Amino acid sequence: MYKKFTILFLVIFMVISVIGCSNQNKTIAHNTESRIITSEGEYVKELNFNEVIYNCTNIVVAQAIDEEAFSGSTNVYRYRPIENIVGSINENEIYVYDSNIQGFSEGEKFILFLEGYESSLYPHTIYTSYYDTVLHLNNDDTVDYLKYGGISDNKKFKNKSEVVDFIRNSHSGIVKSTINAKSKKLKSNDINQLVLDSEYIAIIKPQKIETINPMVQIAQCKVTKNFKNILPEDILVTLPAEAEIDKEYVVLLNEVDGGSYTISSINSFIAKEDQKSFEKLLNAIKNNNITE
């Protein structure tokens, strides 16, 4: 049963986080029929440049900071945003989960074509390169095509200004410039608001844990006490990497597709032994008249 739920959850989790997604982990080669062939032999429709622009939540000029291995063939690349072209990134740093980017080194500039996702298990927005598209800018702002995905029209631009002008004047219409919150992440740091907005509040004890990546674990847990709504006695929960077997945690949860659960916010996972935080949560439950 646990194996069955684990496989089910892994599929769900990949949809939620889109880290290491199929477009990024497959070897892409062009053919004469305006299609691409993946390493699995599948045929995938190519997109033209306008379609790529439309499907990005953010397009930004950014400067490379550093990179580190994450999971499998996926690395996490840290950038400093310089100029928003599509959407608005206000953070001083962003984290892009991607397969190998040749030429990535500190100080180099890139035009990033991004999809952004929120997850309750990550302290920052998750970005991935849409359709494997990354443009490298030389010192004179001319463009290198090191990673140009499966774009069928193969538009070539001489420099950054031409790229930016084309994107901003694109006939694609309104771009999809909102971040996808597919995991029901609650952004509030207010414990009272989290108590009200979370579907379940309970004490759980992990029995088995499987590491998904350096930041996320999936745990088969016993529910030892319910505070808000009734959970099954045994549940499958995604938890931060610091979760340990047989240690009790107070969690604020939301249900995800497939009958598993995830914490509703990065602040919704409290070790029961943390008496100060535990008491604060109990007071919030009492003050908001929350019952099973």
Supply the CATH number for residue 247's domain.
2.40.50.120
* CA distance to 65, 135, 137, 162, 182, per residue, from 106 (Å): 5, 16, 13, 25, 32
Residue 56 resides in a domain? yes
Residue 240 resides in a domain? yes
203 and 243 inside one domain:
yes
72 and 143 inside one domain:
yes
pLDDT band at 62 (very low <50, low <70, confident <90, very high): very high
The structural domain count of the chain equals: 2
In this prediction, residues 90-116 reach a mean pLDDT of 89
| CATH number for the domain that contains residue 71 | 2.40.50
Q: What is the pLDDT of residue 102?
A: 72
233 and 139 inside one domain:
no
280 and 159 inside one domain:
no
Q: Which of 112-121, 140-149, 230-239 has the lowest mean pLDDT?
A: 140-149
116 and 25 inside one domain:
yes
- Measured distance CA(264)–CA(186) in Å, rounded: 6
Q: Structural domain of residue 232, as residue ranges?
A: 191-287
- Measured distance CA(253)–CA(3) in Å, rounded: 22
148 and 198 inside one domain:
no
Domain C-terminal end among 115, 134, 168: 168
pLDDT tens string 13-56: 443 444 433 333 322 222 223 333 444 444 455 667 888 888 88
Q: What is the pLDDT of residue 188?
A: 52
- Torsion sign, CA atoms 190, 192, 198, 203: positive
Residue 66 resides in a domain? yes
123 and 51 inside one domain:
yes
196 and 117 inside one domain:
no
Q: What is the pLDDT of residue 33?
A: 33
Q: What is the pLDDT of residue 121?
A: 83
Residue 8 resides in a domain? no
* CA distance to 10, 132, 193, 267, per residue, from 196 (Å): 28, 39, 5, 14
Q: Which burial class, exposed, middle or buried, applies to 178 when counting CB atoms under 10 A from its CB (0-12, 13-18, 19+)?
A: exposed
Residue 154 resides in a domain? yes
112 and 32 inside one domain:
yes
Residue 214 resides in a domain? yes
Please name the residue ranges forming H helices in the chain: 2-17, 22-25, 49-55, 160-168, 191-197, 275-287
pLDDT tens string 256-272: 877 899 998 888 899 99
Residue 7 resides in a domain? no
pLDDT tens string 70-90: 988 889 999 999 999 988 898
Residue 163 resides in a domain? yes
160 and 198 inside one domain:
no
163 and 217 inside one domain:
no
pLDDT(173) > 90: no
Start-to-end C-alpha separation, the chain: 27
164 and 214 inside one domain:
no
